[in-house]
Structure 1
Amino acid sequence: MSAADRGRRRTRVLPAALVGALLLTGCSLGGSPTPTPSGTATPRPFTVMSTDQVRVTDPAAVTDSASAMLTTNVFQRLMTADPGQSALKPDAARDCGFITSATIYTCTLNEDEFFHNGHPLTSSDVKFSIERAARLDVRGSSAGLLSSLRKIETPDPVTVRFVLSRVDTQFGWALASPAASIVDEEVYDADRVQAPDEPIVGSGPFRVTSFEKNAIGLQRYEDYVGRSRPSLDSLVYRSEPDSASIEDAMNKGLTDVVWRGLDDAAVTRLSSQAAADGDADTANGFHQSVLTGVRVLQLEWSRSSRSRANKGLRQAIALSLQGDRTSDSVVPGGVPGHIAIFPLGGKTHPRVTWTKRITLTLGYDSTEPNGLDTATQIRTRLEDTGGLSVQLRPDETGDLTLVDRKAWTATALAWLQPYLEAPLPATAASVAATENAFTSLPLRSAADDATADRLLATLQKQAATDLVVLPVTQSDEYVYARAGVRLSASSFGPGWQLGLFGISRG
């Protein structure tokens, strides 16, 4: 960082509006709450509820949906996209592209970008953030999308040049993913993941004013410069232990928006009420929005499992799940490039080709709607083969892990990433070659599009042969908004992460 940049940081002061934000929800980031006059009831903050708990606040280490949601709303990336769309849009950048070379991706930052703590956001911070994410390389994060990066140049405070080791026309999507979020180099450690009790400093639409295990206070950042300006002044994101707690809060008027928190029984009840109402409202006064096909469950083999190398075992497990499967590829239906490759339904006859019973562990997220029920059903199917015992491991990684997945962006390559990062050793070289062939395509003509579809089909077919990532189900997701609350078309991030910036009153 240049001396000029350091000088700019010293002269920037924290806006008065942000000082006041530190007092939200009793505050945990310094100062004391403003006392409430005697006899005056404290108004309930605008509340978003879910069972998804934010576990990680450092964007370089995000691997779960709730933490990705927080990152989407608190941090900026150079690029972004509309929900579910495959066209990149600038955010912290004014523009990005391959201008001078097919292996140099250049971005120009917006003018007057500042972090929530008042520090200017410069090209130096971008370089630090991207290099840090690639260095930390947290397994399961989106850092793997940065694999083509060789070095970063910053000729001036608003220009960033990404020098790539090979042609990678998909690199812009890497810069739209959580790991590419921009952090303040004066706050974040270059060599370790920031703990949740350490400062959370981004430049996104909202700033964090308090962080507890089950409740996060957020306030609109008035100096935000980017694509997703928020409407709400402040809100609280609260994670509840189960669906019943959320439904009770809806009935008592204690929440304004519900995202990914209700189990199948609750959704069925509320959907019936909404279907019977002319305005699609539930009996407790919430409007139901249906996000078609955006909830995707997959079963993922741990690369450290000793049983992963057993081909007969992998095939038997895939067959045992076929009758319940509603998703037919690692790339879900509706995503450009998807092909149907895994069979659905019908009679199957999984063959036990091993002589001694195998014990496997099955990990799952206990906070996910129906997480235990789905894991139990999978265990039953696997044990019905006659050659397996399966131990459930809530909130742990097992030999197999049930993942309620949201891709970082709405591209086939983002959905394929868990497989591309850990194919079988025997196929790793051919998978890497196919991926490189895809990312080197210019994608500008019908011929290029046809080649891209062919290469994506090859990757999906190989995934269906390796069977280390198994599609399980693809279903709708439901969001509920209280009367008087509106969710706009921009209420979600590129991979259908909840965008709090798209929520408004009235």
Structure 2
Amino acid sequence: MNRKTLVLPAVVGLLAPLLAACGTQQGGAAGGNAIVVGTTDQFTATEDAPAPFDPAYAYDTGIWNVLRQTVQTLVRVPRGGGRPVPDAASECQFTDRVSESYRCTLRDGLTFSDGTPVTAQDVKFSIERVLAIKSDNGAAGLLSNIDTIEVKGYREIVFHLKTPDATFPYKLATPVAGIVSSDKYEADKLREGFQVDGSGPYTMKANVSDGHVTSVVFTKNGRYKGGVKLRNDQVELRSFADAGAMAGALDAGDIDLMTRTMEPEQIRELHARPKEGIKLTEMPGLEIRYLAFNTRHPSVKDKAVRQAMASVIDRSKIAGDVYGSTATPLYSLIPSSIATHTNSFFDKYGEPSRKKAAAILDDAGIDTPVKLTLHYTTDHYGSATAKEFAALRDQLNASGLFDVTVKGSEWSTFRPAQKRGEYAVYGLGWFPDFPDPDNFTAPFLDADNFLNTPYVSEEARTRLIPASRREADRTSAAPAFEKLQRIVAEDVPVLPLWQGKQYVASRDTLTGVEWALNTSSDLQLWELGRGTA
């Protein structure tokens, strides 16, 4: 989720890395051991989320990065971005001119990792299972436009959609559409625990301690048939409590690469004082951060309160002071590097202004200071989140218009409480499911949305989102997306703050690093190898 101030939108395809690494050896086995990747993502089973790795429940970048290695989808987004290409399927295409009927044919001889054949009926079972369970985590919303699923023989499957949707192939490329077996997954119940079975590039084994996953070992699936070429035989994804511990493991040679989430200070330090044997790689990214509102809560029910916050918050100062060169201010839900982006919030509110915010509140008859608590997660996006929310608190309180406190919670507590509507104002990040403006608008505004928000814009849901999806040429959808961005700036159900860049640090003997993360922050562990770049 990226944001820049008053810049022209760039074509997403231009974000792809230009050069691939060439290794003298291929595969972790060539070095005699697994490639080890560090992450600060935490994987925990709780009473609220007992099945974190089930494709019918999972809707989190870190967990999706486990599923992408193990659960195969009909199509996948290629390494450098662009339109989805076949993976479990040998071919997929719309069979009509209005993008309402999508047909796929499975690869011949496709099997799950245990050797059981994968059939079109398994695909139907997997998708219908997601829709039947309809977890409150929000992922099922990606598939909610499916009307019926038709199976023809063992290999052919046809999706009939309720309304035209040119983005449907991208949705089929996400883990929520992962193919699972009815032998391992129940049709109407989530699979609790940490085991994942599929037909993807790797099999997996989770190492668990006290209910937390300490690491996941991915081993090459010899039965995999798909479009991915594996450059290693085994990768271990190791979870660390914080970025400092992860950096220490890289320095000690215990891991080969550290990814989500490096701290801004670490990135600045590696830029200024490179370490021998370690390289820092910057990658294009589409991460955004934002405040969201429970628009039924009395403290923010009047949109004038939300508009006043949009008027007074200084995004540039937050991005610069807290995140430095790793973030830029964002004035729309759609990042500046996605075509159809507009600076809708800047257009409406301009530069930060206490005077303008005060006038908005006064005109609405709202007494000041408005008392609010801003909630954030302490362990999901890195320790800089606490600094960011302290800065937000200080800015709002300095205006004299607000009386703000902040409260942090672990993700395992924060996310269930947020979905239940317990927070009036809360901070979240968004890593897109696919790089299209639809995925920066519909998950926040459509029915069955990720936020479980009470906010409804009938114009957005019934007219603009469906209109944007009818356009196979995505640039033709620009007028609909421009209106959607204006609606968000006017009603402020969410308040965009900044967009970020992606960085990873690695041992210089590791190849394929520049392909290890795509613009949507999807881990592509199969790209990693050992050798000389």
TM bucket by the smaller chain? 0.7 to 0.9
Shift of 1:146: 1.7
| Whole-Å separation in 2 of the counterparts to 1:110 and 1:44 | 32
Shift of 1:407: 0.4
Whether 1:462 aligns to 2:476 is no
The match for 1:492 is: 517
Runs of 4+ aligned structure 1 residues displaced above 6 Å come to none
Shift of 1:83: 4.9
Shift of 1:187: 0.8
Task: Check conservation: 1:241, 1:367, Cα contact below 8 A.
Answer: no
The match for 1:315 is: 307
The match for 2:22 is: none
Task: Check conservation: 1:420, 1:432, Cα contact below 8 A.
Answer: no
Q: Which of residues 57, 60, 68 in structure 2 aligns to 1:64?
A: 60
What's the CA shift string for 1:292-321, capped at 9, x where partnerless?
A: 343322222246645442211111222232
Whether 1:382 aligns to 2:396 is yes
Greater relative contact order (CA < 8 Å, ≥ 6 in sequence)? 2
Task: Check conservation: 1:207, 1:219, Cα contact below 8 A.
Answer: yes
The match for 2:73 is: 77
Task: Check conservation: 1:231, 1:504, Cα contact below 8 A.
Answer: yes
| Whole-Å separation in 1 of the counterparts to 2:85 and 2:445 | 25
Q: TM-score, normalised by structure 1?
A: 0.83
The match for 1:187 is: 184
| Whole-Å separation in 2 of the counterparts to 1:83 and 1:300 | 32
Shift of 1:455: 1.1
Helix, strand or coil for the counterpart of 1:219? strand
Whether 1:48 aligns to 2:51 is no
Equivalent residue runs for 1:356-435 within 5 Å: 357-369=370-382, 370-386=384-400, 387-394=402-409, 395=411, 396=414, 397=418, 398-421=423-446, 425=455, 427-435=457-465
Shift of 1:50: 1.5
Q: Structure 1: where are the runs of 5+ without partners?
A: 1-42, 274-281, 444-448
The match for 2:119 is: 122
| Whole-Å separation in 2 of the counterparts to 1:440 and 1:178 | 24
Alpha-carbon RMSD: 2.4
Helix, strand or coil for the counterpart of 1:294? coil
The match for 1:476 is: 501
What's the CA shift string for 1:338-385, capped at 9, x where partnerless?
A: 222222983411335532743334132424222222232223333334
Q: Which of residues 282, 297, 302 in structure 1 aligns to 2:289?
A: 297
Task: Check conservation: 2:110, 2:225, Cα contact below 8 A.
Answer: yes
| Whole-Å separation in 2 of the counterparts to 1:84 and 1:412 | 18
What's the CA shift string for 1:162-189, capped at 9, x where partnerless?
A: 1112222222122112211111121112
Shift of 1:126: 0.7
Shift of 1:493: 5.0
Q: Which of residues 208, 211, 217 in structure 1 aligns to 2:207?
A: 211
In structure 2, do the counterparts of structure 1 residues 95 and 308 end up closer, same or farther at CA, with 3 Å as the change threshold?
Answer: farther
Q: Structure 2: where are the runs of 5+ without partners?
A: 1-31, 45-51, 320-328
The match for 1:132 is: 129
Equivalent residue runs for 1:122-271 within 5 Å: 122-197=119-194, 199-212=195-208, 213-271=213-271
Letter in 2 for 1:73: Q
Shift of 1:224: 0.9
Shift of 1:155: 1.6
- Greater Cα shift, 301-310 or 151-160: 301-310
Q: Which of residues 95, 101, 118 in structure 1 aligns to 2:91?
A: 95
The match for 1:26 is: none
Letter in 2 for 1:268: R
| Whole-Å separation in 1 of the counterparts to 2:95 and 2:468 | 20
In structure 2, do the counterparts of structure 1 residues 332 and 304 end up closer, same or farther at CA, with 3 Å as the change threshold?
Answer: same
| Whole-Å separation in 2 of the counterparts to 1:303 and 1:74 | 38
In structure 2, do the counterparts of structure 1 residues 69 and 306 end up closer, same or farther at CA, with 3 Å as the change threshold?
Answer: farther
Letter in 2 for 1:223: R
In structure 2, do the counterparts of structure 1 residues 219 and 111 end up closer, same or farther at CA, with 3 Å as the change threshold?
Answer: same
The match for 1:355 is: 367
What's the CA shift string for 1:262-304, capped at 9, x where partnerless?
A: 211111111113xxxxxxxx31411211013433222222466
| Whole-Å separation in 1 of the counterparts to 2:197 and 2:477 | 38
Shift of 1:142: 3.3
Q: Say how many residue pairs are matched.
A: 450
The match for 1:330 is: 333
Helix, strand or coil for the counterpart of 1:309? coil
| Whole-Å separation in 2 of the counterparts to 1:296 and 1:496 | 11
Identity %: 23
Task: Check conservation: 2:207, 2:216, Cα contact below 8 A.
Answer: yes
In structure 2, do the counterparts of structure 1 residues 488 and 311 end up closer, same or farther at CA, with 3 Å as the change threshold?
Answer: same
Letter in 2 for 1:328: Y
Helix, strand or coil for the counterpart of 2:176? helix
In structure 2, do the counterparts of structure 1 residues 339 and 101 end up closer, same or farther at CA, with 3 Å as the change threshold?
Answer: closer
| Whole-Å separation in 1 of the counterparts to 2:152 and 2:372 | 56
Task: Check conservation: 1:337, 1:456, Cα contact below 8 A.
Answer: yes
Equivalent residue runs for 1:334-349 within 5 Å: 334-343=337-346, 346-349=351-354
- Greater Cα shift, 124-133 or 319-328: 319-328
| Whole-Å separation in 1 of the counterparts to 2:238 and 2:527 | 18
In structure 2, do the counterparts of structure 1 residues 163 and 375 end up closer, same or farther at CA, with 3 Å as the change threshold?
Answer: same
Helix, strand or coil for the counterpart of 2:205? strand
Q: TM-score, normalised by structure 2?
A: 0.79
| Whole-Å separation in 1 of the counterparts to 2:292 and 2:351 | 23
Helix, strand or coil for the counterpart of 2:457? helix
Equivalent residue runs for 1:15-30 within 5 Å: none
The match for 1:451 is: 476
| Whole-Å separation in 2 of the counterparts to 1:99 and 1:158 | 16
In structure 2, do the counterparts of structure 1 residues 48 and 442 end up closer, same or farther at CA, with 3 Å as the change threshold?
Answer: closer
Letter in 1 for 2:42: Q
